[in-house]
């Protein structure tokens, strides 16, 4: 306890870190306040039925991502999710269209152009999702739930939802620039954490009720949840060390010779991004069913039910595919091989250059497979929890969708705090060693700058 208080005192003593933490807290509070501001034209008294519907099934999972604002019909009802979908679209275009590939190679100016396209796609996707959301509101709200002209309500809701999403994105950027941690990841994490206490209470009440299984069952569930968190921490921090015999080690402008080093390749270099990307796509069937309620497609209906076999198989496959896809984006074996060659490094028994790049790529592919499968299993755990009659709110926390985001984002944020402390010669946050977060840019959700 004494060490903890001393650490808090050290954090507060660093002016820059104190300012960043205060900025982050203020922006998070604004976001949370916005999730309770109901869209203009909706009768607040009619929201109770709508809230129950929006908190269950796959839409309940979407509601979890946006901090409950979807079920409350708030101005932040779509949250930051349209931006995630836009990021997927832009990254796919970057692999398929030469002009986007050229922009990626242009450095800072190219990155700004790509960020601008991402924002434009975000607005377009938000507009389409806004149409689906308005249709859903009309189908679920009782008579008298909408108190203004229908046309005016549709137009105003689409404009407000789009503005709300872009404002959430702006807050995420400001947290990244002026606060602590990755802003977009933090906003999603705060939305998830806001639902956690209520989910635990609801599950506890359900278990102690007659026929609920009792306190023992609740404790088993909590123990299982803690075990999942433990394994996810190992997954986030896990590395595979490949022996690299460096002739030189370069640190800043100084060179040190004769040091045996290792090239650490993460078992899960993509971090939480594959699950976020896959989840964003899996939300589409549910939104389509809300936009077109008369659709009688059984396949689409099964995709929208997170406990169905169809949904679990498709979700798991998407997680594996996106794990390889995102790893290929952020891990460049040829660049690593070139850097080693420039610095006089080599892998024993492997020729420098293309052979080294091929060797690293082969190892990366092999260690990514078990990481992607484990990620897929963790991602579909809420389906198994739902089948075991665990409360739907609490079941969503058994999967990587929520827990991975929470664990990864918390570790990243604590790592940044620790870096500020160590730079100013204070003790770190942990006695046993430095906190290992996800590598910058690997798993944190990309946030546009400028």
Q: How confident is the model at residue 444 (pLDDT cuts 50, 70, 90)?
A: very low
Check pLDDT > 50 for residue 256: no
Q: Are 268 and 236 in contact (CB under 8 A)?
A: yes
Q: Which residues contact 282 (CB under 8 A, 6 or more apart)?
A: 58, 303, 311, 314, 315, 318
Domains present along the chain, CATH in parentheses: 2-423 (1.10.3370.10)
Q: Helix or strand or coil: residue 225? A: helix
Q: How confident is the model at residue 435 (pLDDT cuts 50, 70, 90)?
A: low
**Distance, CA of 394 to CA of 382 (rounded, Å):** 9
Check pLDDT > 60 for residue 321: yes
Q: How confident is the model at residue 244 (pLDDT cuts 50, 70, 90)?
A: very low
Q: Are 69 and 61 in contact (CB under 8 A)?
A: no
Tokens of 257: 């010779």
**Distance, CA of 446 to CA of 11 (rounded, Å):** 27
**Distance, CA of 267 to CA of 322 (rounded, Å):** 14
Mean pLDDT of 114-120: 89
Distances (CA, A) of 122 to 32, 72, 78: 21, 22, 11
Provide DSSP, 30-45. Answer: HHHHHTT-BPTTB-GG
Tokens of 288: 């389509």
Where is average pLDDT lowest: 3-12, 120-129, 251-260, 332-341? 251-260
Where is average pLDDT lowest: 58-72, 113-127, 255-269? 255-269
Q: What is the pLDDT of residues 271-284, one digit of tens each?
A: 777 877 787 787 77
Check pLDDT > 60 for residue 443: no
Q: Which of 371, 369, 346, 381 is nearest to 438 (CA)?
A: 371
Q: How confident is the model at residue 326 (pLDDT cuts 50, 70, 90)?
A: confident
- Percent of the chain at pLDDT above 90? 8
What does the pLDDT read at residue 247?
Answer: 35
Query: According to DSSP H, which parts of 388-399 are helical?
Result: 392-395
> Can you say how many angstroms the Cα of residue 25 is from the centroid of all Cα atoms in its chain?
19
Check pLDDT > 80 for residue 118: yes
The neighbour count for residue 268, using CB atoms within 10 Å, is: 29
Q: Tell me the pLDDT of the chain averaged across its residues.
A: 77
Check pLDDT > 80 for residue 395: no
DSSP lists the bridge partners of residue 208 as none
């Amino acid at each position: 306890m004494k060490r903890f208080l001393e650490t808090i005192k050290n954090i507060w003593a660093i002016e820059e870190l104190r300012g960043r933490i205060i900025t982050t807290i203020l922006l998070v509070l604004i976001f949370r306040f916005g999730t309770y501001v109901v869209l203009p034209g909706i009768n607040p008294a009619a929201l109770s039925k709508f809230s129950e519907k929006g908190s269950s099934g796959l839409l309940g999972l979407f509601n979890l991502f946006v901090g409950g604002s979807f079920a409350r019909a708030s101005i932040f009802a779509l949250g930051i999710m349209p931006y995630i979908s836009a990021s997927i679209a832009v990254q796919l275009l970057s692999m398929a269209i030469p002009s986007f590939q050229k922009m990626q190679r242009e450095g800072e100016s190219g990155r700004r152009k790509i960020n601008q396209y991402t924002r434009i796609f975000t607005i377009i996707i938000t507009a389409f999702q806004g149409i689906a959301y308005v249709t859903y509101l009309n189908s679920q709200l009782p008579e008298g739930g909408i108190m203004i002209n229908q046309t005016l309500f549709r137009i105003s809701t689409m404009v407000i939802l789009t503005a709300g999403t872009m404002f959430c994105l702006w807050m995420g950027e400001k947290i990244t620039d002026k606060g602590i941690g990755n802003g977009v990841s933090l906003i999603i994490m705060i939305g998830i954490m806001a639902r956690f206490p209520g989910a635990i209470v609801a599950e506890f009440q359900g278990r102690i009720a007659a026929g609920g299984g009792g306190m023992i069952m609740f404790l088993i569930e909590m123990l299982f949840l803690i075990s999942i968190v433990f394994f996810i921490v190992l997954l986030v921090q896990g590395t595979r060390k490949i022996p690299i015999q460096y002739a030189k080690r370069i640190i800043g402008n100084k060179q040190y010779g004769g040091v045996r080093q290792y090239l650490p390749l993460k078992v899960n270099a993509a971090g939480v991004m594959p699950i976020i990307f896959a989840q964003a796509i899996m939300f589409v069937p549910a939104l389509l069913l809300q936009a077109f309620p008369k659709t009688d497609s059984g396949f689409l209906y099964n995709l929208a039910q997170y406990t169905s076999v169809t949904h679990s198989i498709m979700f798991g496959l998407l997680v594996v595919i996106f794990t390889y896809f995102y790893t290929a984006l952020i891990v460049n074996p040829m660049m690593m091989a070139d850097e080693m060659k420039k610095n006089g490094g080599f892998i024993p028994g492997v020729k420098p250059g293309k052979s080294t790049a091929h060797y690293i790529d082969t190892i990366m592919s092999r260690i990514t497979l078990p990481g992607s499968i484990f990620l897929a299993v963790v991602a579909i755990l809420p389906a198994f929890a739902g089948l075991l009659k665990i409360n739907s709110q609490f079941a969503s926390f058994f999967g990587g969708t929520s827990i991975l985001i929470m664990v990864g984002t918390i570790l990243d944020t604590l790592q940044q705090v620790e870096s500020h402390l160590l730079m100013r010669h204070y003790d770190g946050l942990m006695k046993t060693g430095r906190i290992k977060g996800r590598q910058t840019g690997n798993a944190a959700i990309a946030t546009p700058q400028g």
